[in-house]
Amino acid sequence: MHKNYVLWALSLCFLIYLSGCREKNEETIPANFGESYYPLQVGARISYSVKQQIYEASNPNPNIPRLFTYQLREEVLDKSKGENGEDLFRIVRYTRPTGLDNWQIDSVWTVKKDNSQIIKTEHNVPYVKMSFPLYEDKSWNGNAFNSRKRQPYRVVSLGKPFAVNNLNFSRAAVIMHQADSNILFKDVGYEVFADSIGMIYKRHEYLKYCDQDPCVGSKEIVSGSIISEISIFEYKK
């Protein structure tokens, strides 16, 4: 019994030690650590390949998705100061069907950046893309500045390599936006940001599964589902 008690006590002390180290490490992280994963400089741009698989009831075979592809470019147009002194950037978005076509302006979004967070307004909806400092397992409410329900964003990986479209990035941050699934649906989405580059990859799967006999529980995908993937293929700092 004495031996078991000693082992229990040592284990408890070790857990307390780890907890103290973790808190100390978080306290010593610079307040703005992680800013380099979302750099913003006038003239910088990133081009992406976009793929969408959409399951439609109008499709002769609704279990087989229609594939839509195009290219997207985001370019930092200018920089100004916001109402509270934060940096405010305008991002021009261009699209084109293929690499053989000319870019056409699609929309203009905005990004607010200060020492504590980055807020990107997409289609007039603001999202908290990052909350500083960044560290693994950190979470925040991505919908803090819009009327939608609370949506936890979480850093699931930080500072690890990531490769996409034959481009290799030595340090990347993976931020999970949605992670819900059951026998009736799957809603999983995340973004990947490379150090000194910005967003390099984004994926969102919203899948509806059959909810009627005889296919209920089989995870057969039905209409209303979509898989969206955005991946970098070139960039200019």
Write the pLDDT tens digit of every residue in 142-163: 999 999 999 999 999 999 999 9
Residue appearing with tokens 């649906």: 185
Indicate the average pLDDT of the chain: 90
What is the C-alpha to C-alpha distance for residues 128 and 116, in angstroms, rounded to an integer?
A: 10
Q: Which residues contact 136 (CB under 8 A, 6 or more apart)?
A: 155, 156, 157, 158
Share of the chain above pLDDT 70, in %: 89
Q: Given 2.20.25, 1.20.1300, 2.40.50, 2.40.360, which CATH number is that of 30-236?
A: 2.40.360
pLDDT band at residue 29, thresholds of 50, 70 and 90?
confident
Concatenated DSSP letters for 195-222? TTTEEEEEEEEEEEBP-STTTTTTT-B-
**Full-prediction pTM beyond 0.85?**
yes
| Region 203-229 average pLDDT | 94
pLDDT recorded at residue 3: 40
Decide if pLDDT at 141 tops 70: yes
Backbone angles phi, psi at 116, to 5 degrees: -110, -20
The identity of residue 120, as a single letter, is K
Lowest average pLDDT, out of 10-19, 74-83, 184-193, 223-232, goes to 10-19
Residues 46-85 pLDDT 10s = 999 999 999 998 888 878 999 999 999 999 999 999 888 8
Question: Which 3 state secondary structure label does DSSP give 46?
Answer: strand
Could you tell me which of 205, 219, 41, 187 has the C-alpha nearest to residue 113? 41
Residue appearing with tokens 């913003």: 40
Decide if pLDDT at 27 tops 90: no
- The answer to whether 94 and 73 have CB atoms below 8 angstroms apart is yes
| Region 108-115 average pLDDT | 95
pLDDT recorded at residue 174: 98
Give the tokens for residue 237: 């700092």
Q: Which sequence spans correspond to the domains of the chain?
A: 30-236
Decide if pLDDT at 1 tops 90: no
Q: Which residues contact 11 (CB under 8 A, 6 or more apart)?
A: none
